[in-house]
């Protein structure tokens, strides 16, 4: 039976996030700002894992004293051994969710299954269009412009064992302008859509508003 003054023992444990990165880390920064600067997300970034030791994202983690690890294919030799290391790190930091924020590696099936429905990715296009192995970075936006699409945007989805094929959680779009180049489209989508969309979804994930039931996403908005 709880005694007076014991309330703190029953405080909700904050959701623990692991953020996987590969490059500049602007999506990571959007999450850091939302959590630690604006206090908009009831969660913690427990660890940042980078596929590359030179990623600027690591500097961002360091600046906010967030523990970080490097899990590169170069050091581990195979995707399986790299992902065994990632899984060990996720368990060490008791991560509840894994957020792929500009992460360029493709996770092995073993890792995806160990964290089934708990790995989320943000992709800079309106999936299922312009997704898959070759669609990353500027390639996505170049393909969108070449196809004459009138709209593009970003999709946040759960990660399954395919590439960009998991259940969609949220998607937002903007107009492709006649004067858009792959660079300008990438910049607008990153700024106007990806950052706020990722923050919103991660916030709702931490609040327990997003679940998977019977193979469908249930999003209580």
Residues in the site for ligand GRF, rule: CB under 6 A?
A: 21, 23-28, 57, 101-102, 122, 124, 137, 186, 190, 194
Residue 136 catalytic?
no
Pick 43 or 124: Cβ nearer ligand GRF? 124
Structure tokens at 3: 């005694």
Nearest approach, Cβ of residue 123 and ligand GRF (Å): 6
Polymer length in residues for the chain: 221
Q: Give the residue with the Cβ less far from ligand GRF, 105 or 114.
A: 105
**Contact between 120 and 40 (Cβ < 8 Å):** no
Q: Which residue is nearest to ligand GRF (CB)?
A: 102
Query: Cβ 176 to ligand GRF, closest distance in Å?
Result: 15
CA 120/CA 203 separation, integer angstroms: 13
Q: What is the CA radius of gyration of the chain?
A: 18
Closest to ligand GRF by CB, 114 vs 140, is 140
Q: What's the CA gap between 114 and 156, in Å, rounded?
A: 20
Please report where in the chains the tokens 């427990």 appear, as a residue.
46
Closer residue to ligand GRF in complex, CB, 24/67: 24
Of residues 127 and 210, the one with the C-beta less far from ligand GRF: 127
Least Cβ distance, residue 220 to ligand GRF (angstroms): 26
φ and ψ at 198, to 5 degrees?
-65, -40
Name the helix (H) or strand (E) containing 216: strand 216-219
Write down the least CB distance from residue 12 to ligand GRF, Å.
28
CB atoms within 10 A of CB 199: 19
**Least Cβ distance, residue 92 to ligand GRF (angstroms):** 23
Burial 104-135 (b: 16+ CB within 10 A, else e): ebebbeebbebbebbbbbbbbbbbeebbeeeb
CB neighbour list of residue 32: distance below 8 Å, 6 or more residues apart = 45, 60, 64, 66
Tokens of 55: 């990623």
8, 76, 123, 141: the active-site residue = 123
Residues noted as catalytic: 123
């Amino acid at each position: 039976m709880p005694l007076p003054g014991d309330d703190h023992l029953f405080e909700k444990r904050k959701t623990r996030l692991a953020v996987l990165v590969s490059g500049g880390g602007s999506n990571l920064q959007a999450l850091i700002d939302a959590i630690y600067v604006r206090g908009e997300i009831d969660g913690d970034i427990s660890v940042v894992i980078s596929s590359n030791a030179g990623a600027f994202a690591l500097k961002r983690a360091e600046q906010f004293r967030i523990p970080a690890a490097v899990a590169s294919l170069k050091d581990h030799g195979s995707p399986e051994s790299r992902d065994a290391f990632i899984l060990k790190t996720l368990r060490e930091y008791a991560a509840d969710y894994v957020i792929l924020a500009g992460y360029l590696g493709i996770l092995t099936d073993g890792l995806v299954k160990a964290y089934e429905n708990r790995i989320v990715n943000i992709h800079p296009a309106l999936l299922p269009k312009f997704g898959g192995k070759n669609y990353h970075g500027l390639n996505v936006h170049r393909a969108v412009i070449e196809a004459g699409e009138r709209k593009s945007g970003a999709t946040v989805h759960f990660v399954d064992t395919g590439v960009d094929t998991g259940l969609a959680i949220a998607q937002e779009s903007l107009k492709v302008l006649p004067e858009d180049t792959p660079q300008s489209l990438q910049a607008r989508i990153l700024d106007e859509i990806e950052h706020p969309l990722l923050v919103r979804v991660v916030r709702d994930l931490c609040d327990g508003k997003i679940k998977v039931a019977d193979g469908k996403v249930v999003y209580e908005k």
